[in-house]
């Protein structure tokens, strides 16, 4: 099944600097502004993989078969009437999903997004609505922060005791960097929680998946 899917899959990476080339290649309409968004509509039976990282581009995706949709640190994007095999969202806001069929989905630090009349597999519904992936991720982050803090304390204690060698220095530097990274992630979540939460309206539950030669369909 995957071989058949991959034969017709095309990957697009959408950023501001690549927008003009993509517009020429696909003949897209729109300037990427709020009044004139770029519209990607109906590419036939081709199953596309799309990666988006754009804060200033207004884009509308319509009537597409998307094997994997990765949206990172983006806003002002509308996805409607699409099939999405695998949806991943990281640090997004002001996204709109309308009338889509989604197989698997996970989100991290996404707020102020709007979901209306979408369907998702039954086993994914509760995880997505309750943001289980983010909750689990930040439990792990707290654990790493505690570990980093502990090893930082051990490293500093070793320095104060003049017990210094290559290994102790590496452990100290690694633990400091780990602690800084975890604090940064916690800061991002604090900032995200200041924004309005996502809204979910009329989510339908899919019972099973079915596959075709051209692309995945959900019934």
Q: How far apart are CA 32 and CA 20, in angstroms?
A: 10
| Percent with pLDDT over 70 in the chain | 85
pLDDT of 7 reads 42
pLDDT of 73 reads 92
Most confident of 34-38, 125-129, 139-143: 139-143
Contact 79, 61 (CB under 8 A): yes
The tokens describing 111, both together, are: 């707020």
Most confident of 22-26, 55-59, 209-213: 55-59
Average pLDDT, the chain: 82
pLDDT digits (tens, 9 = 90+) for 70-96: 999 999 999 999 999 999 999 999 999
Residues 6+ apart with CB under 8 A from 54: 14, 15, 16, 74, 77
Average pLDDT over residues 151-173: 76
pLDDT at 207 over 90: no
pLDDT digits (tens, 9 = 90+) for 117-134: 999 887 788 888 888 999
pLDDT of 157 reads 80
pLDDT of 9 reads 57
pLDDT of 70 reads 93
Strand pairing class (114-116; 199-201): parallel
Q: How far apart are CA 214 and CA 46, in angstroms?
A: 7
Q: How far apart are CA 71 and CA 59, in angstroms?
A: 12
Report helix, strand or coil for 115: strand
User: Can you say whether residue 58 is alpha, beta or left, with left for phi > 0 and alpha for psi between -120 and 50 degrees?
Assistant: beta
């Amino acid at each position: 099944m995957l071989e058949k899917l991959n034969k017709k899959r095309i990957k697009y990476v959408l950023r501001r600097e690549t927008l003009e080339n993509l517009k020429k290649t696909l003949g897209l309409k729109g300037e990427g502004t709020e009044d004139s968004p770029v519209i990607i509509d109906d590419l036939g039976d081709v199953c596309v993989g799309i990666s988006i990282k754009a804060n200033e581009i207004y884009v509308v995706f319509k009537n597409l078969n998307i094997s994997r949709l990765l949206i990172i640190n983006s806003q002002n994007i509308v996805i409607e009437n699409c099939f999405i095999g695998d949806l991943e969202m990281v640090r997004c806001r002001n996204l709109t999903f309308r009338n889509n069929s989604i197989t698997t989905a996970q989100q991290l630090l996404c707020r102020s997004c709007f979901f209306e009349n979408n369907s998702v597999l039954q086993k994914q519904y509760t995880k997505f609505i309750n943001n289980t992936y983010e909750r689990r991720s930040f439990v792990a982050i707290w654990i790493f922060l505690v570990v980093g803090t502990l090893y930082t304390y051990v490293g500093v204690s070793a320095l104060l005791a003049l017990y210094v060698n290559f290994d102790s220095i590496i452990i100290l530097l690694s633990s400091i960097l780990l602690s800084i990274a975890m604090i940064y992630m916690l800061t991002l979540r604090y900032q995200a929680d200041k924004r309005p939460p996502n809204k979910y309206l009329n989510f339908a539950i899919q019972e099973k998946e079915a596959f075709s030669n051209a692309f995945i369909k959900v019934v």
